[in-house]
Amino acid sequence: MPPKQALPLVIPARAAHTVSVIFVHGLGDSGHGWSFFPELAAAQNRLAQVKWILPNAPIQPVTLNGGVPMPSWYDILSLDRINAREDETGMLASVSYLHGLVDKEVDDGKKVVVAGFSQGSAMSLLAGLTYKRPLAGIVGLSGYLPLRQKAFGLRADANKNTPIWMGHGTADPVVNFEYGKQSADLLKENGHSVDFNAYRGLGHSADPKEIGELMSFIEKVVSE
């Protein structure tokens, strides 16, 4: 039986809808956990043309947390090292689900940015690289590129030149800062345009400076 999965939280655009941002939450969280992002954009009168799609991960056991069921895009076996054994089957199943969300927006003629935090960042990077139609941008916060040995063999030509924005706190105790930096370096080595931003002293979270700079990135790529 497939794991249970709630429908995405959808927050409509405040003006004519031309852009969709799909933001993928992290382990144990939900789409509602990132509803502050569109709320902050509205409070600052930014990104009015954006419809926000905040998907919810399926509930499934997570090995890293003793097998306890929780919202998770894939099973996490270890975070001790960047090349640890990974749940490729679970990752690719979630990538397929996210591609389906993107398809609906692209079919409707919208520009799409795929973004995520932590485990959601791993998904946004992998889903973005492997999507077969052009995206406006790809974003990864406090995460890493999964399936490092296979990702570039799976990637689609459509997003080889899509701008990628990454942010990571230097004091992150959950997803090591070096994992994020090494992922950005690997993406660059394989021909991708990556803007990697380090936030000194920031733990496993996002702060107003990072969110503000991310909004500026989205504004830039959707206007091109």
Residues serving a catalytic function are 118, 172, 204
Buried b (16+ CB within 10 A) or exposed e, 163-176: bbbbbbbeebeebb
Please, which residues bridge with residue 23 across strands? 115
DSSP H or E segment with residue 24: strand 19-24
Q: Which of 97, 53, 101 is nearest to 72 (CA)?
A: 97
Please compute, for residue 180, the number of CA atoms within 13 A of its CA located in the half-sphere on the CB side: 31
Dmax over Cα atoms in the chain, in whole Å? 46
Q: Which two tokens stand for residue 16?
A: 């004519």
Cβ(200)–Cβ(177) below 8 Å: no
Q: Which two tokens stand for residue 93?
A: 């199943």
Q: Which two tokens stand for residue 106?
A: 């692209």
Phi/psi for 70 (5° steps) reads -160, 165
Distances (CA, A) of 102 to 27, 83, 111, 185: 21, 28, 10, 26
